[in-house]
Structure 1
Amino acid sequence: MFRQSMLGIPDIARSSADAETAYLAGGEPLGGFINGELQGVVNGYDSAVVLPGGNLVSHLAVTHVGVSPMHTRRGVARHLLTEQLRRAHRQGVVVAGLRASDARIYGRYGYGIASWSVRQEVDLSNGGQFFPERRGDVRRVDALASFDLFRRIAKNAPASRAATLVRWDAWWTIQEFRTRLSSVPHYAVVVGSEGAERGYLRFHVQPSDNWFTSPQRTVIVDDFIAYDGDAWRALLGHVLSQDILHKVILPSRPVDDPLPVLVDNPRAVQTSELRDESWIRPLDLGKFLNARKFGGSDRVVIQIDDPLIAANHGVWSIGADGATRSDERPSLKLSVETIAELAFGAQPPTALAAAGRVQADQATIEALSLLFATDLKPHSGISF
């Protein structure tokens, strides 16, 4: 049903029934029926997401949202998405999250944009190369045979950037499946001594009619984890110092990624395609807010509206020591999707105020800016 609704999604089972079984096994699908026939689906996988400050909360990775083309605009998707959120709330899940095929849909269900991403293209023929010092802890590994290693590195990665997800088994299954069936070469490099790796970078060759003589030999980064700045420089240095290459493409990077100041010529890094990445829907507002670390010294009293989950609706007092229910008069009113955007640091209060989505006096806006301040912009770096 999902493939029928999306049209362009390939059938995994035609290539590997075992891969499709493994991919779907860990999900929690819901079906919508009309006259006994399946006409809509939604699925979800158990995960966790990092909040500003480094704490993790449970996260339902929502995916496979689709309705039969013959039964659209009949409330099927609305019923499924609403039921999914309410079930997850009853089960104690703190937030739900998804990647949106259409950015106009999910705000009505309380999802807010919790992270943005950009595309980076590095022109190695125009000063985009970076030649790190020779080091013995960077090594190539087999891109297909090393998924157990990639899993371990990802699992042990520090929770330094909000919106980072704990990857679930089905996500890894599809990554391995795509690598195995790819028609182009895939490569991987890790940094750190064996057993103490501190990051990896997976990449593949962009298809070319004649790679040997092509003036645009390009590789595309598939997945990139670095525990710290040293690991980040080492892994990027491996790719950016390849003499055979003309261009390196990183399809999904944080909006504050420092790559332009790493290379010799910052103009060699073209940043484009700013787009919404993580959509997050708070389900248990108390646990969500109290897992986040807040700044500033003032408390802000906020009326939070949640028409879907009554337990979240009401007045909250938020400060450096956490969030509590309050009987005080609120300084402003926010929707549940807006509180998600603020809590992750995806947008500053000043920007949302300029857009008319936060309406408060200047003192309250300044207090919100301190309350929701983050050192790094949120970013996940993966799709699902």
Structure 2
Amino acid sequence: MSVEIRLLEMDDDDVAQWWQARSIGYLGAPTAEAHDLEYMREILDFSRTWGAFEDGRCVATYRSFDHEVTAPGGATVPSSAVSAVTVSPTHRRQGLLTRMIEPDLRRFKEAGNPVASLIAAEYPIYGRYGFGPAAWLTDFRIDAMRAMRPGPPPGPQDGGRVVLADAQRVRKEGPWLHERIRRKQHGFVTRPGGWWKKLTGSYQPTGGDWKEPYYALYLAADGTVDGMVAYTAVNAWNGGMPDGDLHVQDLLAYSPAAERALWHYLCSIDWVTRVHAPSRAPDDLLPLLVGDARAAVTTACVDHLWLRPLDVPAMLTARSYPAEGRLVLDVRDEAGLAQGRFLLEAGPDGASCAPTALAADLTLPAAALGGLYLGDESAVRLAALGRLDEERAGAAAAADTLLRASRRAWCPDIF
């Protein structure tokens, strides 16, 4: 029986079928409740939500939507985000994802998007579609008792303070704070309203394990909200001693003072012996903000945000560059979307990029350029791995001088 790829319709049966297929793919609840369908209708763009249907049943899901990715220097780059990619176990290896993503990437290109983006659940899948890992995440486990040695940390030195908050205030202040940080932190992406509904419990997916968090804000001396944390805790005792675990759901800080104060606050909570802090930047300040840096142990460091070049001149001229440089890139792309040879001339005052017939300095696949774009990957490393070719001696090192950023890219969100 043939499988039909088509846009999702807004009627209850279609949305329920799509939700169920997506949920099965993500090992969630197999049956949707009314509030799940209402939430889906709210967040989905039905002109960009696809399903694979066989005999009336949805067996694969796919959606895309517009958002922005912050590039080095703070410019926000329009991107088409790929999300909700699932294929039911009964229909694996039948090319269903290819039939959905390849036409959509062409639509992205025609719509003028410089890049496409996604969060890769599995590493081997998306390289063949031209995506490369552009930002990584680190998970920490903090020994709270050790972190606070040799004694209680001093309070904030800038006149700020940490205050408890409720979900209503977080829904009001959180989006504004995130937007301020997004404007300066490369790798950040637009955070839609549905994200805040999940964090604060306004929407709780059927079958989920949502637990009401505690919330705290960091207020600068003038009352500005410069930081926010949401966390849950498990109260446990062992041999008459506290043995509790605190789990950070989200921690945002606009200033180093806010970041320091919030970590000290979490590590100072009574009965907490371990703080679990996932989804942090790979070069997060956390270990050096506590009294004993070894108290913050890295438990995972994984690729997270992947980017796919679509319009090479547009994407390269959108970001900033720390030094003057000139580079000819020969971009190879089997899909033809980003194919071409381009001259990049860039410096602190701006950049230009245009097609050229000049000899290439580097030859690289589109996925490699996606990985280099946010300044997190090294062209020298990719050359050593055979993932790009250095056509001119020293070109990879020159590319690193031009493209690398002083801090690593960070995207804490899943979309």
TM-score by length of 1: 0.90
- When residues 37 and 18 of structure 1 are mapped into structure 2, their CA distance, relative to the original with a 3 A threshold, is closer
Q: Distance in 2 between matches of 1:282 and 1:301?
A: 16
1:317-338 Cα distance to aligned partner (Å, 9 max, x none): 1121232211101122111110
Q: Distance in 1 between matches of 2:190 and 2:25?
A: 28
- Map 1:221-240 to 2 at 5 A: 221-240=248-267
TM-score by length of 2: 0.84
- When residues 126 and 195 of structure 1 are mapped into structure 2, their CA distance, relative to the original with a 3 A threshold, is closer
Higher relative contact order (CA 8 A, sep 6+): 1
Q: Distance in 2 between matches of 1:12 and 1:141?
A: 34
Aligned pair partner of 2:335 in 308, 312, 317: 308
Aligned pair partner of 1:248 in 252, 267, 275: 275
Q: Distance in 2 between matches of 1:377 and 1:178?
A: 33
Q: CA deviation at 1:103?
A: 0.6
Q: Is the 8 A contact 1:301 1:318 kept in 2?
A: yes
Q: Which runs of 5+ in 1 are unaligned?
A: none
The reply to whether residue 276 of structure 1 matches residue 303 of structure 2 is yes
Aligned pair partner of 1:133 in 131, 144, 155: 155
Q: Is the 8 A contact 2:66 2:79 kept in 1?
A: yes
The reply to whether residue 201 of structure 1 matches residue 221 of structure 2 is no
Q: Is the 8 A contact 1:42 1:80 kept in 2?
A: yes
**SS of the residue 1:276 aligns to:** strand
The reply to whether residue 112 of structure 1 matches residue 143 of structure 2 is no
Q: Which runs of 5+ in 2 are unaligned?
A: 1-20
Equivalent pairs: percent with the same residue?
26
Q: CA deviation at 1:280?
A: 1.1
Counterpart for residue 359 of structure 1: 389
Q: How many residues align?
A: 381
Aligned pair partner of 2:43 in 18, 24, 31: 24
Q: Is the 8 A contact 1:128 1:266 kept in 2?
A: no
Q: Distance in 2 between matches of 1:14 and 1:179?
A: 12
Q: CA deviation at 1:145?
A: 5.2
Counterpart for residue 297 of structure 1: 324
- When residues 112 and 219 of structure 1 are mapped into structure 2, their CA distance, relative to the original with a 3 A threshold, is same
Q: CA deviation at 1:49?
A: 0.8
Q: Is the 8 A contact 1:23 1:174 kept in 2?
A: no
Q: Is the 8 A contact 2:145 2:267 kept in 1?
A: no
Q: CA deviation at 1:262?
A: 1.6
Q: CA deviation at 1:184?
A: 4.1
Q: Distance in 2 between matches of 1:120 and 1:226?
A: 17
**SS of the residue 1:157 aligns to:** helix
Aligned pair partner of 1:371 in 394, 402, 410: 402
1:51-96 Cα distance to aligned partner (Å, 9 max, x none): 1111001122221111232222111111101122112222222222
Q: Is the 8 A contact 2:317 2:353 kept in 1?
A: yes
1:103-146 Cα distance to aligned partner (Å, 9 max, x none): 10000001110101111111012234662425553211014653
Q: Is the 8 A contact 2:119 2:414 kept in 1?
A: yes
The reply to whether residue 334 of structure 1 matches residue 364 of structure 2 is yes
Q: Distance in 1 between matches of 2:40 and 2:300?
A: 34
